[in-house]
Every structure is written in C-alpha cells, then in structure tokens.
Amino acid sequence: MTCPDYKDLMMGYLDDELDDAQKQSFEDHLASCQDCSGELEGFRELKQITDQVALVEPEDKIWQDYWSGIYNRVERRIGWILFSAAAILLLIYGGFRLIEALIKDPTVDIILKAGLLAIIAGLAVLFVSVLRERIHFWKRDRYKDVRR
C-alpha cells in the first residue's frame, strides 16, 4: 500500500473505527511516514475544533406542534382533493345543463348546435385518450419499484 491508500484508513483511525488488523497496519505505516503522521496531526486538531461545534437546541414548543404541522398538510391535501373533485363535477353538470338548454331552444341556429356537439365530442375523445395514457403510466409506475 502507498500513502494515498492510507488516507481512508487515517479517517478510520482518527474516529476509532478500524479493526485491529487495520489499526496495526496503519500504525506501522505512521511510524515510517512523516507525511502521514504530520497530516494526522492536522486532522486531530481539526477534529478537536469541529467537535466543539454544536447546534442550538430548539425550544420544546416546536416539538409539541411538530406533528400537527404535518397532519395539517395531510388534511389540507384531502380538502383540496374533495374541493377539486366537487368543482369539476359541478362544472360538468352546469355545462351539460347549459348545452342541453341551448340545443332544445328552437331559436338557436342549427350551425351553433352542430358546433357545440362537435366540441363536446372532441372533448370526450381527448378526455378518454388522456385517461388511457395516465392509466398506462400508472401501471408501469407500480412495477418500476419492484427492481431493488
């Protein structure tokens, strides 16, 4: 082994994470290598400094409110899903009634009626197509997790 091979062991040595054989091998190298023993000294000083740095403990209050901060997000999501589903439903229903009224109205021009029906048919085709694509991706998505 050469010096660069001992760099990683140096960390293990510093943090007391080596097994006996690795430790012995590293100490043997240290005894014969000025570079590595000098570098180790530098890392020891650095570790001493970094070990002094600790982060401020937050007040207990944040732990008391912590879970509710997460649960609120869950509730908000459920709220949004319900809201959007209801809004979409109402829009479809309202639109349907409006178109129904227009088509039944004898004073409305036949061209306008045909146009409206074509738009509805177009939307329906688009909707089914997007839905089919989504389901296809969703199925693939479920299997992609199987790998690991």
Partner 1 sequence: MHSVCDQQTLAIQRCQRGRPEAFEWIVNRYMKQAYSIALGLVGNRDDALELSQEAFYRALRNIDKLKSHSKFFPWFYQILKNLCFTHLRKRVSRSTGNLEETGYLPAEATGTAWFDPEAVAEANETKSKVWEAIGRLKEKHREVIILRHFQNMSYDEIAENLFCSKGTVMSRLYHARKKLKVMLDDQKGGRHI
Where does this chain touch partner 1 (CB under 8 A) — which range of 8-16, 83-91, 96-104, 125-133? 8-16
Where does this chain touch Zn ion (CB under 5 A) — which range of 12-20, 32-40, 47-55, 57-65? 32-40
- CB nearer to partner 1: give 76 or 97: 76
Shortest Cβ 48–Zn ion spacing (Å): 22
Q: What is the 3-state secondary structure (H, E, C) of 58-108?
A: CCHHHHHCHHHHHHHHHHHHHHHHHHHHHHHHHHHHHHHHHHHHHHHCCCC
- Under 8 Å CB-to-CB from 14, ≥6 apart: which residues? 40, 43, 44, 47
- CB nearer to partner 1: give 40 or 116: 40
Among 14, 33, 40, 116, binds Zn ion (CB under 5 A): 33
Q: How far is CA 70 from CA 36, 37, 81, 84, in A?
A: 49, 50, 17, 21
Is residue 10 a contact residue for Zn ion (CB under 5 A)?
Answer: no
Query: Inter-axis angle of helices 34-52 and 20-32, to 10 degrees?
Result: 120
Residues making contact with partner 1 (CB under 8 A): 7-12, 15, 17, 42-43, 45-47, 49-58, 62-63, 66-67, 69-71, 73-74, 77, 145, 148
